Amino acid sequence: MEFRSAIKKSDEISVELDKISDALGGNSDDLDLEQLKSSVARLNTISIELLNMTEISDKFLIKSKWKDPITKESRFGPKMIENIKIFGEKVVLLKERVGGMLATTRPLLESKHRVLEQAEALKKKAQMDEEILFAKAREEALEAEARRLELVQKEEMMQKQKLQEKAESARERQKMEAVEKLAAEKAIYDGICVDAARLNAMSKNMTAFRNATEILRQSTIGRNTGTATLVDILENIMNKPDEEKFRRIRINSEVLKQRLLDTEGGVESLMACGFRAIVDKPDDDSYNNAAIILTMGEPNPETNLDEWMQWHDDLKARKEYLQAN
């Protein structure tokens, strides 16, 4: 079976070599590069296949010489031995034919490659020469435009210099005015910070609350409006402790100033309730419109219920004290 397959394969190779030979038989200048490459690649493959056939031929040639140890007769018949010999000769002829075809086509393929490479090199050189000429012309045009622009810029610079000198003088004046304004605003801001620190230094215990409310009640406004406002603030915080707006008081509120804050003992009473003074400064880095805000933090009942209950009881005790007195 192996021998028959090898014979069949050799016949196929012989036919294929005829086709390749016919394809390459014309004028070498007319041959397509891809056709040459394909033919050389196939011839190389056939060379490898013929090596395998050579091994088969040699193997069967050795077997043809085997003799039966008893009869001393050859194991193959004369016809088989003749076929083996013919097959071996055919493989040798095919190898020689492939070698000859490769010896012809490989140089031709290399020549085609060189011609293409030379043509590509000439094309690239022509492109480079064209690009160099274009670049040179463009460079000359740019230089001319640069000289024109330089003259224009010199004239513009002279005009700008005069305007800049005038603007610089105006900017210096504005800068000095801005520095003075900022210094004044900073001084006001520093004063507000000092006031906030003074408020935060006030006692926040029940004794301080009693003393502050006693002072608050010494005036008619404090005794009536001030005390009622303080009770309202405490009730709002106790009823809705989660709403920050009830725990956040702007100290410059005109309504609260009239009802409580401008009355002696009013601010002190709020601070004794547990409020803390902070300075609210706008995000625009200016000190203008800075103001003190009184804020009260609410303990988190989920993480510390005891602290929250104590905070709530302290507010309740202060409200009940106001209502009882």
pLDDT at 26: 56
* Residue owning tokens 């303080």: 230
Phi-psi region of 265 (alpha: psi -120 to 50; beta: other; left: phi over 0): left
pLDDT (tens digit per residue) in 232-247: 999 999 999 989 999 9
Report the DSSP beta bridge partners of residue 216.
none
pLDDT at 47: 84
pLDDT (tens digit per residue) in 57-84: 778 787 777 777 777 677 777 888 888 8
Ordered DSSP codes for 190-213: HHHHHHHHHHHTS--SHHHHHHHH
In a domain, 262, yes or no: yes
By the 8 A CB rule, do 297 and 276 touch? yes
Most confident of 14-23, 158-167, 176-185, 205-214: 205-214
Tokens of 127: 């492109």
Query: Which CATH number goes with the domain that contains 282?
Result: 1.20.58.2190
Residue 241 has φ and ψ, to the nearest 5°, of -65, -20
pLDDT (tens digit per residue) in 105-137: 777 777 777 877 788 888 898 899 898 898 898
In a domain, 42, yes or no: yes
Is the domain of 311 the same as that of 217? yes
A 10 A CB-CB count for 105 gives: 19
Is the domain of 22 the same as that of 124? yes
How does strand 291-295 pair with strand 276-280? Answer: antiparallel
Which residues have C-beta within 8 Å of that of residue 10, sequence separation ≥ 6?
53, 87, 90, 91, 94
Round to whole Å and give the CA distance between 129 and 134.
9
Helix (H) or strand (E) holding 278: strand 276-280
pLDDT (tens digit per residue) in 135-185: 898 998 999 999 999 999 998 888 988 888 888 888 888 888 888 887 888
pLDDT at 102: 79
Which of 65, 58, 57 is CA-nearest to residue 3? 57
CA-based end-to-end distance of the chain: 124
Is the domain of 124 the same as that of 207? no
Is the domain of 107 the same as that of 229? no
Round to whole Å and give the CA distance between 281 and 188.
12
pLDDT at 235: 94
Which of 318, 320, 298 is CA-nearest to residue 309? 298
Amino acid identity at 306: D
Grouping H, G, I as helix, E, B as strand and the rest as coil, residue 279 is strand
Domain end call among 120, 136, 152: 136
Sheet with strand 276-280: strands edge to edge? 248-250, 291-295, 276-280
Query: Which CATH number goes with the domain that contains 35?
Result: 1.20.58
Domain end call among 101, 117, 136: 136
Domain end call among 136, 159, 193: 136
* Residue owning tokens 């050799």: 10
Query: Which of 13-17, 229-233, 247-251 has the weakest average pLDDT?
Result: 13-17
- Number of domains making up the chain: 2
